[in-house]
Amino acid sequence: MTTIAIILAAGKGTRMVSDLPKVLFPLRGKTLIARAVSAATQAFGQPPIVVVGLMSDDVRAACGTGVHFATQVQQLGTGHAVKVAAESAKALSAEAVAVMYGDMPLLPSEMMTALAVERARSGAAIAMLTLVADNPRGFGRVVRNDAGAVEAIVEEVAATAEQLRIRELNVGVYCFDAAWLWPALERIQPNPRKGEYFLTDLVAIAVADGRQVVAIPSNDAEAFIGINTRADLADADAALRRRINRGWMLKGVSMVDPGSVYIDDDADLAPDVTVLPNTHVLGATRIGTGSVIGPNCVLRNARIGRGCVVQQSSIEDSSLDDGADAGPFARLRGGARIGPGSHIGNFAEIKNSTLGPGVKMGHFSYLGDATVGAEANISAGVVTCNFDGQQKQPTTIGDGAFVGCDTMLVAPVTIGAHALTGAGAVVTHDVAPGERVVGVPARPLAPKSPGTPNKE
């Protein structure tokens, strides 16, 4: 049976106290609405209909491709929101319609699939997910009759004292018989207090029609965390991190303190990776087997090879090949590519540069727009002066070159293979392979006389 999901995402979310619509807030690297769209697509095998309102262009852009949209110009309640999506849903010829919120990011797609399966099996007009919990979190109560059948949903503000003691809660996730739903929507009356049309009224309408309403209870409170405030967003982040981190540990990743590790959905970690405390693995970061990351690292869209060690460092849009190490306090950014077995020490920064195998860059140096050959040595205080005031200029350092302490490489410039620059040199012209230069500006060192001490 074909099911189409309608995601309600038209509201602003005033309790977030932000100009940004609630569904555009990020959670572990994805917006709330992107998570809802992904869950619905996985559950039903096709992109959903998203009901948009405020900042609709931004919300549409965050949903990705293939998604259908309906616009709710006036926010007149959940029933009205589904009604404005009716034309789109009918055009898709779905036999069942699932409805969910765009601010419930931890709802598993498997729950949605099971909901649709149960509705089809039972032939019910409505199937709904419910939560059994001691903390009602403002949810409406599910009222059952003496036979245990669902007969109504009562919002918390309208519930009697007896109804408030009910612990089965309506979380706002439904699956409807489409043929019954569309005419039933026309029968919802505006709420006398708010003038809005509430989707929950459909339960009483179905009961009055003699149609079955099926409730599938769950005790997984984390799955139904709805985001109304930034405190809720923090709760959802903590719950999602526990879910993500446990998943990686079951796949062979070690974490000394999982509560202090932050991993985005799109990251990928191989078995036998160790992640130490206060480490952020963000975006599409990939980490190879046997690598040790942390403590106190931030990796964003990084590629880390096998057997690497990264300590207290920031690596963004950059890569370390097998056996390389970085840190503490190294910064790699903007397409830095570090070859196998290379060493990047403390307070070193590398931007848009490629380092060959076995390069040593100990500390307090900067390489920008540079290409460094195998086994070269970059000493303390080396700086590539790569910006001429208008554009970035390249530096090339050959295999086995030795760049001495505090050398300034004024780009564009090439240091030949096995060449040497003396401490404090300011290199403004190319250095030939095997040549030694010193001074300001750097000049070739005269051949020394026999027995003269080597002071360079």
The stretch 30-51 carries a mean pLDDT of 97
Q: What pLDDT, on a 0 to 100 scale, did the predictor assign at position 140?
A: 92
Q: What pLDDT, on a 0 to 100 scale, did the predictor assign at position 452?
A: 53
Q: What is the pLDDT of residues 155-214, one digit of tens each?
A: 888 899 999 999 999 999 999 999 999 999 999 999 888 889 999 999 999 999 999 999
- Mean pLDDT over all residues of the chain? 95
Q: Taking the CB of residue 168, how many other CB atoms lie within 10 A of it? A: 17
Share of the chain above pLDDT 70, in %: 98
Q: Which phi-psi region, left, alpha or beta, contains residue 381 (left: φ > 0; alpha: ψ -120 to 50)?
A: left
Q: Mean pLDDT lowest for which of 33-37, 90-94, 253-257, 439-443? A: 90-94
> Does residue 451 register a pLDDT over 60?
no
Give the residue with greater pLDDT, 331 vs 455: 331
For residues 169 and 130, the answer to whether their CB atoms sit within 8 Å is yes
**Please, which pLDDT band fits residue 448 given cuts at 50, 70 and 90?**
low
The stretch 280-285 carries a mean pLDDT of 98
> Does residue 379 register a pLDDT over 80?
yes
Domains and CATH numbers, the chain: 3-224 (3.90.550.10), 248-444 (2.160.10.10)
Question: Catalytic one among 80, 363, 418, 429?
Answer: 363
Distance CA 444, CA 431 (A): 8
Tokens encoding 383:
């700086």
| Cα separations in angstroms, 237 against 258, 261, 275 | 13, 12, 19
Does residue 280 have an active-site annotation?
A: no
Tokens encoding 390:
């208008």
CA nearest 372: which of 355, 349, 351, 348? Answer: 355
Q: Taking the CB of residue 146, how many other CB atoms lie within 10 A of it? A: 6
Q: What is the pLDDT of residues 341-370, one digit of tens each?
A: 999 999 999 999 999 999 999 899 999 999
Q: What pLDDT, on a 0 to 100 scale, did the predictor assign at position 450?
A: 58
> Does residue 296 register a pLDDT over 70?
yes
Share of the chain above pLDDT 90, in %: 92
Q: What pLDDT, on a 0 to 100 scale, did the predictor assign at position 138?
A: 84
